[in-house]
Amino acid sequence: MKILFLIPVCLSLILSSCAQKPEPCKSPPLLEGALSAFIPGHHLHVFEKFSYDAFGQNVRVLAAGKDGNQTFFVDNLLLFKEGVSYQIHYHNQTCIKTALKEPFRHIGVPHDAHFLNQLVLGSSSLPGQGLLVNNWNGTWEETQEHYLLTFTALGCVPLYTLDFTQKGELSAITSFFDLVEGIEDPNVFIPPSFCDSVKVLPAKGGVGARSFISLL
């Protein structure tokens, strides 16, 4: 009789434990916001505003940064279904058009990521004083480099990413902020008319982007 009683209790505990463990996830399909990135090995600081459309597989990135003593500004439009990327220069109405062979990368936690822990950023004393987040780590299959990701527990919104070399050295730090679901202006994914007559250049070589973050 005791054994019969213990069986459902054990099953209940097992199911409860499985249900509580977070699973890898994808972020909202329509997302706008900003990020800052620091690449220590190149002394590169970047601030970006981006628009992300997972339905149409389009990304628009406005980036400004400092590479050593040099500052730069870039306006990139990536249309994955069309297989074309645009580097747009409004000040002189010129455009560099390049074949885009990279696969579209969703914002989210990779399917083979390892769940580390769940914690509260801020305070858990009172409602509204903290944010519940999940930490993940893993290895990018393409490069065998390592990562540490922090996403919100609800909504799968990215907060921080840390990338490491195969030797364990920190290679990039990225933090997200001011994220909003939806696209305020869908025209952000339409290239300007002065790009229409520009010839498409061959795709750039090199190692493919391992994630949406590295793609940016």
Model confidence pLDDT, tens digit, residues 154-195: 999 999 999 999 988 999 999 999 999 999 999 999 999 999
Residue 12 domain flag: no
In the chain, % helix, strand, coil (3-state, to 5) comes to 15, 45, 40
Integer Cα distance of 26 and 34 in angstroms: 18
Asked if residue 192 and residue 100 are part of one domain, the reply reads yes
What is the per-residue pLDDT for 161? 96
Asked, for residue 143, whether it belongs to a domain, the answer is yes
What's the length of the chain?
216
pLDDT at 43: 83
137 vs 128: CA distance, rounded Å = 27
Cα distances from 103 to residues 50, 144, 171, 215, in angstroms, run 18, 18, 23, 10
- This prediction has a pTM of 0.83
pLDDT digit string, tens, across residues 111-163: 999 999 999 999 888 888 899 999 999 999 888 899 999 999 999 999 999 99
Question: Do 36 and 102 belong together in one domain?
Answer: yes
* Same domain (yes/no): 89, 40: yes
Please state the domain count of the chain. Answer: 2
User: In a 10 Å sphere around its CB, with 0-12 CB exposed, 13-18 middle and 19+ buried, how is residue 125 labelled?
Assistant: exposed
Question: How are beta strands 200-201 and 94-99 bridged, if at all?
Answer: parallel
* Assigned domain for 50 exists: yes
> Are residues 189 and 102 both part of a single domain?
yes
Pair (127, 188) in one structural domain: no
Asked whether residue 164 falls in the same domain as residue 201, the answer is no
Q: Are residues 171 and 189 in the same domain?
A: no
For the ranges 8-12, 26-30, 61-65, which has the lowest average pLDDT? 8-12
Q: Are residues 101 and 41 in the same domain?
A: yes
User: Is 87's pLDDT higher than 70?
Assistant: yes
Whether residue 59 is found in the same domain as residue 161: no
- How many CA atoms, within 13 angstroms, populate the side-chain half-sphere of residue 32? 11
Q: Which two structure tokens, joined as six digits, stand for 8?
A: 């459902």
Query: Could you tell me if 83 and 44 lie in one domain?
Result: yes
H helix intervals, the chain: 2-20, 212-215
Distances, alpha carbon 189 to alpha carbons 129, 168, 192, in Å: 36, 37, 9
The reply to whether 18 falls in a domain is no
155 and 192 together in one domain: no
Domain residues for the domain of 118 are 114-176
Tell me phi and psi for residue 58, to 5 degrees.
-125, 145
Average pLDDT estimate for 71-76: 92
- The secondary element (H helix, E strand) that includes residue 177 is strand 170-181
